[in-house]
Amino acid sequence: MLNIHLVPCLKDNYAYLVHEPATSSVAIVDPSEAAPVVAALKAHNLKLTHILNTHHHFDHTGGNLPLKEATGARIVGPRADRDRIPGIDEDVGEGDTWSLGQAKANIFDIPAHTKGHIAFWFEADKAVFTGDTMFAMGCGRLFEGTPAQMWSSLSKLAALPADTRVYCGHEYTLANGKFAVTLEPGNAALKKRLAEVERLRAEGKPTIPSTIGLERETNPFLRAESKELRKSLGLESADNVAVLAETRRRKDVF
C-alpha cells in the first residue's frame, strides 16, 4: 500500500511524495521546486526513484531537472506534451498502465487546462492525482482546450469510485467553495463542506485530499445537471458543456 505525503511548494502548490514500501520506490508528483522535496525526502528518510508530471506548467515541473540531477530519478509525463516536459524519460497516455514498484496506476488523458494533461489513478490504493484539471470544488482554467474537452476530462474522473482520494495541484479550495455556494446556495453538502474548509484554513491546515464522492456532491464543474445551478446561470435548457462553459466564465471573473 502506498504512503502519500503532501509537500507544499511555492505559494499554494502541492507536490506529493508517494512511497511504495515493498520495493522502496518513491515518486514525487508535480515538483514545483526542488528544495521542499529534498527536505521531505530527508524528513521521511526516502530516496527518490521517479518524478511524475501531470502537465507541463512550470509550477508542476520546475523541480524536474535539479531533482533528476541530484537523485537520478526517472521522469514520467504526458505523451501529448512530451516536448514540453523538462528531462522526460518516459511518456504515457490514455489506456496505459504505469507501475511504481508494485503499485499500478492507470493513466487517463484529461486535456483542456493544457493540451497534454494526464491523471495517475492508483486503483488499489484508491488515489488519483489530478494536477490542474480537477481541484477540490473547482477545475483548472482553460488555457489550451475547450469547455467540451474539460467536461469530457472531468467526467472521466467523476466516474471513478466515490471513495477515491483526489490529490490535486493547488490549495484553491476555500476560494472555489465561496464561488460554488453562489451558484448552489441550497446545496446542503456544499454548505457543510465550505464550513469545514473555512475551519481547516483558519487553522492553517490543508483541505486535500478530497474524494470523488465529495466532488460529485459539491464541485460545480461536475454538477452541470443540477437544477439549482442551471437556474442560477439562467441556462435551464442548455447542454452540459454550455453550463460548464458559463460556470468557468463566471469563475474567471469571480
Instruction: Give the length of the chain.
Output: 254
Smallest distance from Zn ion to CB 14, Å: 12
Determine which one of 19, 57, 81, 117 is catalytic: 57
Per the CB < 8 A criterion, the answer to whether 131 and 55 are in contact is yes
Determine which one of 50, 55, 56, 117 is catalytic: 55
Strand order from edge to edge, sheet including 118-122: 97-100, 103-109, 118-122, 127-131, 165-168, 210-211
Binding residue for Zn ion (CB under 5 A) from 19, 50, 57, 223? 57
Smallest distance from Zn ion to CB 190, Å: 25
56 is catalytic: no
CA dist list (Å): 82 to 105, 129, 228: 19, 18, 41
132 is catalytic: yes
Q: Any contact of residue 132 with Zn ion (CB under 5 A)?
A: yes
Query: How many residues sit in the footprint of Zn ion (CB under 5 A)?
Result: 2
CB nearer to Zn ion: give 115 or 156.
Answer: 115
CB nearer to Zn ion: give 145 or 209.
Answer: 145
Q: Any contact of residue 30 with Zn ion (CB under 5 A)?
A: no
CB nearer to Zn ion: give 55 or 126.
Answer: 55
Q: Any contact of residue 117 with Zn ion (CB under 5 A)?
A: no
CB nearer to Zn ion: give 101 or 111.
Answer: 111
113 is catalytic: yes
- Give the DSSP letter string of 55-121: S--HHHHTTHHHHHHHH-PEEEEEGGGGGGSTT--EEE-TT-EEEETTEEEEEEE--SSSSS-EEEE
Determine which one of 50, 56, 60, 117 is catalytic: 60
170 is catalytic: yes
- Give the DSSP letter string of 170-204: B--HHHHHHHHHHH-TT-HHHHHHHHHHHHHHHTT
Angle at 40 between CA 105 and CA 114, to 5 degrees: 45
Q: Write out the residues near Zn ion by the rule CB under 5 A.
A: 57, 132
The residues annotated with a catalytic role in the active site are 55, 57, 59-60, 113, 132, 170
